[in-house]
Structure 1
Amino acid sequence: MGAVQILSTVVAYLVTVVAVAFAVRAARRMVAVIRLGQPDPSRFDDRRGRTATMLRETLGHTRMLKWSVVGVAHWFVMVAFILLASLVVAAYFEVLDPTRTLPIVGGWTIFGLVTEVLSVLGVLAIGLLIVVRLLNLPRRRSWSRFAGSTSWQAYYVEYTILAVLVVGLLVRGTKAADGALAYPVWAAPVSHALGGVMPASGDLISLLALLKILISMAWVIVISTHVTMGVAWHRFTAFPNIYFKRSGDAAPALGALKPMTTGGEPIDFETADPETDQFGVAEVEQFSWKGLLDFTTCTECGRCQDQCPAWHTGKPLSPKLVVLSLRDHAYAKAPYLLAGGGKSPAGEEKASAEQLASVPASALAEAQRSLIGGAEEAGIIDPDALWACTTCGACVEQCPVDIEHVDHIVDLRRHQVMIESSFPPEAGAMLRNLENKGNPWGAANKAREDWTKGLDFEVPRVGDGSANDFEYLFWVGCAGALEDRAKKTTRAVATLLHQAGVNFAILGEGETCTGDPARRIGNEFLFQMFAEQNVETLNEAFGDRSRPNRKIVATCPHCFNTLGNEYSQFGGEYEVIHHTQLLSQLVGDGRLTPIRSVAGGLTWHDPCYLGRHNQVYEPPRELLGDALVEMPRNSERSFCCGAGGARMWMEERIGKRINTDRAEEAIATGAGTVAVGCPFCYTMLGDGVAGAQAGQESQVEVVDVATVLLRANADSAT
Structure 2
Amino acid sequence: MQLAAIIVSLVLIAIGFALLGRAVLQIYQHMRLGQPVPKGTRTDDPVRRTVTVATEFLGHTRMNRWGLVGVAHWGVALGFFSLLITIVNAVGQLFKADWLLPYIGEWLPFELWVEFFATTTTLGILALIVVRQLSKPGKPGRKSRFAGSNFGQAYFVEAVILIVGCSIVTLRGLEGAQHGVESYEAGYFASYPLVAAFRGLSTETLQNLTYLVAMIKIATSFIWMITISLKTDMGVAWHRFLAFPNIWFKRESSGDVALGALQPMTSAGKPIDFEDPGEDDQFGVSQIEHFSWKGLLDFDTCTECGRCQSQCPAWNTGKPLSPKLLIMSLRDHAHAKAPYLLAGGGKSAEGEEKATEEQLKDVPAAALAEAERPLIGTLEENGVIDPDVLWSCTTCGACVEQCPVDIEHVDHIVDMRRYQVMIESSFPSEAGTMLKNLEKKGNPWGLAKKQRLAWTKEVDFEVPVVGKDIEDLTEVDYLYWVGCAGALEDRAKKTTKAFAELLHMAGVKFAIMGGDEACTGDSARRLGNEFLFQQLGQQNVEMLNMAFGESAEGEDGAEGVKVEKSKKKIVATCPHCFNTIANEYPQLGGEYEVIHHTQLLQHLVDEGKLVPVTPVEGLITYHDPCYLGRHNKVYTPPREIIAKVPGLRNEEMHRHKERGFCCGAGGARMWMEERIGKRINNERVDEALSLNPDIVSTACPFCLVMLTDSVNGKKNDGKAKESIQVVDVAQLLLESVKTPVEPEGDGETTAAPEPDPEPVK
Aligned match of 2:187: 187
Most deviating of 564-573 and 199-208: 199-208
User: Is contact 1:396-1:405 (8 Å) kept?
Assistant: yes
User: Is contact 2:614-2:738 (8 Å) kept?
Assistant: no
1:252 and 2:264 matched: no
Q: Give, as a single letter, the amino acid of the residue that structure 1 aligns with 2:274.
A: F
Structure 1 residue 26 displacement after superposition: 1.0
Structure 1 residue 123 displacement after superposition: 1.1
Aligned match of 2:226: 221
Aligned match of 1:491: 497
User: Is contact 1:34-1:290 (8 Å) kept?
Assistant: yes
Aligned match of 2:295: 291
Query: 5 Å matches for 1:684-703?
Result: 684-696=706-718, 698-703=722-727
Q: Deviations over 1:268-293 (max 9, x none)?
A: 112214x5111000000100000000
Q: Which residue among 693, 707, 712 is the counterpart of 2:731?
A: 707
1:300 and 2:304 matched: yes
1:629 and 2:634 matched: no
TM-score normalised by length of structure 2: 0.92
Distance 2:186 2:613 in 1: 59
In the superposition, relative to structure 1, how do residues 191 and 456 fare at CA in structure 2: closer, same or farther (>3 Å)?
A: same
Distance 1:594 1:54 in 2: 45
Distance 1:393 1:452 in 2: 35
What runs of 5+ residues in structure 2 fail to find an aligned partner?
A: 551-562, 742-750, 752-761
Most deviating of 672-681 and 195-204: 195-204
Distance 1:361 1:180 in 2: 62
Q: Give, as a single letter, the amino acid of the residue that structure 2 aligns with 1:190.
A: A
User: Is contact 2:616-2:735 (8 Å) kept?
Assistant: no
Task: Kindly tell me the number of residue pairs found equivalent between the two proteins.
Answer: 714
Most deviating of 312-321 and 7-16: 7-16
Distance 1:173 1:436 in 2: 78
Q: Deviations over 1:156-207 (max 9, x none)?
A: 1111101101011111212222336799622203322112223342121112
Structure 1 residue 5 displacement after superposition: 2.6
Q: Which residue among 478, 486, 492 is the counterpart of 2:484?
A: 478
Query: 5 Å matches for 1:492-531?
Result: 492-531=498-537
Distance 1:65 1:208 in 2: 33
Q: Secondary structure at the match of 2:570?
A: strand
User: Is contact 1:84-1:165 (8 Å) kept?
Assistant: no
Query: 5 Å matches for 1:660-671?
Result: 660-671=682-693
Q: Deviations over 1:539-588 (max 9, x none)?
A: 00001432111000000000000000000001100000100000110011
Q: Which residue among 13, 20, 23 is the counterpart of 1:23?
A: 20
Q: Secondary structure at the match of 2:479?
A: strand
1:379 and 2:383 matched: yes
Distance 2:606 2:149 in 1: 49
Structure 1 residue 449 displacement after superposition: 0.5
Structure 1 residue 699 displacement after superposition: 3.5
1:438 and 2:472 matched: no
User: Is contact 1:642-1:684 (8 Å) kept?
Assistant: yes
User: Is contact 2:181-2:195 (8 Å) kept?
Assistant: no
Q: Which residue among 261, 268, 272 is the counterpart of 1:267?
A: 272
In the superposition, relative to structure 1, how do residues 226 and 213 fare at CA in structure 2: closer, same or farther (>3 Å)?
A: same
Aligned match of 1:207: 212
User: Is contact 2:616-2:736 (8 Å) kept?
Assistant: no
In the superposition, relative to structure 1, how do residues 172 and 425 fare at CA in structure 2: closer, same or farther (>3 Å)?
A: same
Q: Which residue among 599, 602, 617 is the counterpart of 1:581?
A: 599
Distance 1:562 1:648 in 2: 16
Q: Deviations over 1:58-106 (max 9, x none)?
A: 1111100111211111111111111331111211111111111222222
Aligned match of 1:312: 316
Structure 1 residue 10 displacement after superposition: 2.6
Most deviating of 683-692 and 286-295: 683-692
User: Is contact 2:233-2:335 (8 Å) kept?
Assistant: yes
Q: Secondary structure at the match of 1:623?
A: helix
In the superposition, relative to structure 1, how do residues 25 and 446 fare at CA in structure 2: closer, same or farther (>3 Å)?
A: same
User: Is contact 1:276-1:346 (8 Å) kept?
Assistant: no
In the superposition, relative to structure 1, how do residues 6 and 642 fare at CA in structure 2: closer, same or farther (>3 Å)?
A: same
Structure 1 residue 15 displacement after superposition: 1.0
In the superposition, relative to structure 1, how do residues 715 and 159 fare at CA in structure 2: closer, same or farther (>3 Å)?
A: farther
Aligned match of 1:104: 103
Q: Secondary structure at the match of 1:44?
A: coil
Q: Secondary structure at the match of 2:131?
A: helix
Q: Deviations over 1:11-70 (max 9, x none)?
A: 211110001111111111111101110001311111111111111111111100111211
Query: 5 Å matches for 1:331-346?
Result: 331-346=335-350
1:39 and 2:41 matched: no
TM-score normalised by length of structure 1: 0.97
Q: Give, as a single letter, the amino acid of the residue that structure 2 aligns with 1:555.
A: T
Q: Deviations over 1:676-709 (max 9, x none)?
A: 1000000000011112232435332101111111
Aligned match of 2:671: 649
Distance 2:151 2:183 in 1: 39
Distance 1:251 1:239 in 2: 15
Q: Secondary structure at the match of 1:627?
A: strand
Aligned match of 1:392: 396
Structure 1 residue 318 displacement after superposition: 0.3
Structure 1 residue 141 displacement after superposition: 1.5
Distance 2:597 2:740 in 1: 21
Q: Give, as a single letter, the amino acid of the residue that structure 2 aligns with 1:36.
A: L
Q: Secondary structure at the match of 1:197?
A: helix
Q: Give, as a single letter, the amino acid of the residue that structure 1 aligns with 2:696.
A: V
User: Is contact 2:614-2:739 (8 Å) kept?
Assistant: no
Distance 1:184 1:28 in 2: 48
Query: 5 Å matches for 1:551-562?
Result: 551-562=569-580
User: Is contact 1:296-1:327 (8 Å) kept?
Assistant: yes
Q: Secondary structure at the match of 1:25?
A: helix
Distance 1:436 1:367 in 2: 40
Structure 1 residue 715 displacement after superposition: 4.3
User: Is contact 1:595-1:709 (8 Å) kept?
Assistant: no
Distance 1:596 1:520 in 2: 41
1:350 and 2:326 matched: no
What runs of 5+ residues in structure 1 fail to find an aligned partner?
A: none
User: Is contact 1:467-1:504 (8 Å) kept?
Assistant: no
Aligned match of 1:413: 417
Q: Which residue among 323, 330, 344 is the counterpart of 1:326?
A: 330
User: Is contact 1:433-1:440 (8 Å) kept?
Assistant: yes
In the superposition, relative to structure 1, how do residues 397 and 278 fare at CA in structure 2: closer, same or farther (>3 Å)?
A: same
Aligned match of 1:241: 246
Q: Give, as a single letter, the amino acid of the residue that structure 2 aligns with 1:172.
A: R
Q: Give, as a single letter, the amino acid of the residue that structure 2 aligns with 1:240.
A: P
In the superposition, relative to structure 1, how do residues 183 and 53 fare at CA in structure 2: closer, same or farther (>3 Å)?
A: farther
Distance 1:180 1:235 in 2: 38
Distance 1:575 1:672 in 2: 36
User: Is contact 1:37-1:287 (8 Å) kept?
Assistant: yes
Q: Give, as a single letter, the amino acid of the residue that structure 2 aligns with 1:156.
A: F
Most deviating of 207-216 and 626-635: 626-635
User: Is contact 1:477-1:554 (8 Å) kept?
Assistant: yes
Distance 1:424 1:695 in 2: 29
CA RMSD across the alignment: 1.5
Distance 1:343 1:464 in 2: 55
Q: Which residue among 4, 15, 21 is the counterpart of 1:7?
A: 4
User: Is contact 2:83-2:117 (8 Å) kept?
Assistant: no
User: Is contact 1:597-1:627 (8 Å) kept?
Assistant: no
User: Is contact 1:602-1:629 (8 Å) kept?
Assistant: yes
Q: Secondary structure at the match of 1:16?
A: helix
Q: Secondary structure at the match of 1:473?
A: strand
User: Is contact 2:309-2:315 (8 Å) kept?
Assistant: yes
Distance 1:620 1:528 in 2: 32
Q: Deviations over 1:85-132 (max 9, x none)?
A: 111121111111111122222221111112112211221111111100
Distance 1:317 1:64 in 2: 23
Q: Deviations over 1:592-635 (max 9, x none)?
A: 12377432221110000000000000000000006321111000
